[in-house]
Amino acid sequence: MRQNQKASITGIGSYLPGKVLTNYDLEKMVDTSDDWIIQRTGIKERRIVENGQITSDLATQASLKAMEDAGVSPHDLDMIITSTITPDHFFPSTSCFVQQKLGATRAGAFDILAACAGFIYAISVGQSFVNSGAMETVLVIGAECLSTITDFTDRTTCVLFGDGAGAVIIQKSSAKHEILSTSLAADGSQADVLIMPGGGAKTPASVESVQQRTHFIHFRGKEVFKLAINNITSMILETVNKNGLMIEDIDLIIPHQSNLRIIEATMEKLGLPMEKAFVNIDKYGNTSSASIPIAIDEARKEGRLSKGDLVMLVAFGGGLTWGSSVIRW
């Protein structure tokens, strides 16, 4: 029986910091307004870490909830994969800190960096580990403290980002949510469209790099907007065809929560009603690789996912990277 089972999501969890930063709060910090932010992004508020919380803290809390949901213990974990662009440190990996905090002494641990598409990349790796038989139980996390790399003097970027974490357990199962496929893509020729220039080998930390504010997110919004819509739309259609489906067969699309206007334009281009897209960006902003697992958890809690539904996950981010996954719920 087990050889016929496929990699599936058997547990889901998410965690959001308690501190809420509203658009009205941002009005006091930069030249912006609640109306301006909502009209351009759909965001009303976002969550921000406080009291020394770091990425591995958020990741650990989301992981504990996913493990409880799946009925697995720390000892059951074979591998921990964390997608993040805001690691606790450049090294060791955030996954290693999560392993220590969970007490998952048997588990291997490493991070993936594919920006906002990172959770899809991590799902793909976890699925491959499980389907190959190399591992039985993989913890996949998307966790971000984007407030730590957001320039709160730049009104074009500081209104967008928030903090949070989501996690899933991947195991073989015939009763749970089978991962039917994952598709990944990248275009390194567009790397400078969305980037944090400072801190790496090219621009090591220095007085100059700090003064030039290179350790914050930099992006060219109009270019990102167009590239995101075109690439997400193409990826969704390719993924549907790959699975022998029609676009109408997809019951719910859970997109990366980057910008409500991007989601609306993508759904219009696909000829689908907005009711078929799950949206929570108004509450949490753009949480990069954490946005999809947070949205999966919330969609389930809101009753948006029913047994047998075909669910499409899709994300686009810096790199440029993008990816999709189809899950039979």
Q: Which residues of 47-56 are buried (b: 16+ CB within 10 A; e: fewer)?
A: bbbeeebbbb
Q: Is residue 292 within 8 Å of 142, Cβ to Cβ?
A: yes
Say which amino acid occupies 152: F
Q: Is residue 157 within 8 Å of 21, Cβ to Cβ?
A: no
Residues linked to residue 142 through DSSP beta bridges, in sequence order: 83, 166
DSSP 213-272: TTTS-EE-HHHHHHHHHHHHHHHHHHHHHHTT--GGG--EEEE--S-HHHHHHHHHHHT-
Residues linked to residue 182 through DSSP beta bridges, in sequence order: 325
Catalytic residue at 256?
A: yes
Catalytic residue at 259?
A: no
- Catalytic-labelled residue, pool 96, 145, 256, 259: 256
Residue 278 Rama label (left phi>0; alpha psi -120 to 50; beta): beta
- Catalytic-labelled residue, pool 23, 231, 259, 286: 286
Catalytic residue at 89?
A: no
Helix axes 260-270, 221-242, angle to 10 degrees: 40
Angle at CA of residue 60, ends 56 and 66, nearest 5°: 145
- Residue indicated by tokens 């167009």: 226
Q: Would you tell me how many other CB atoms lie within 10 Å of the CB of residue 2?
A: 9
- Catalytic-labelled residue, pool 23, 96, 116, 259: 116
SS (H, E, C) 176-202: CEEEEEEEEEECHHHHHHEECCCCCCC
Distance CA 272, CA 250 (A): 10
Q: Which residues of 184-199 are buried (b: 16+ CB within 10 A; e: fewer)?
A: bbeeeebeebbbbbbe
Distance CA 202, CA 55 (A): 24
Active site residues: 116, 256, 286
